[in-house]
Amino acid sequence: MLKKILTWGGLAFLVFFVAFRPDEASGVVGSLAGGILDAANGFAAFFTNLVT
């Protein structure tokens, strides 16, 4: 029950955030994507160095 409430609450917050603060929402998504890309580059460098 709590999981369902938190899921719907998170979804409602996401819709609200995108609808009323689109500039900030795009900044958050850009920051998250940049962090994921940095992590992927780190893993790629690790495995490259491991093989060579």
How far is it, in rounded angstroms, from Cα 3 to Cα 1?
5
- Tokens describing residue 7: 């899921």
CB atoms within 10 A of CB 18: 14
Per the structure, how many domains does the chain have?
1
Is residue 37 in a domain? yes
Q: What is the pLDDT of residues 3-12, one digit of tens each?
A: 999 999 999 9
Chain centroid to Cα 29, Å, comes to 6
Is residue 3 in a domain? no
Rounded to the nearest 5 degrees, what angle is found at the Cα of 20, between the Cα atoms of 19 and 22?
70
Q: What is the pLDDT of residues 11-49, one digit of tens each?
A: 999 899 889 999 999 999 999 999 999 999 999 999 999
Is residue 10 in a domain? no
Task: Note down the domain range covering 27.
Answer: 22-52
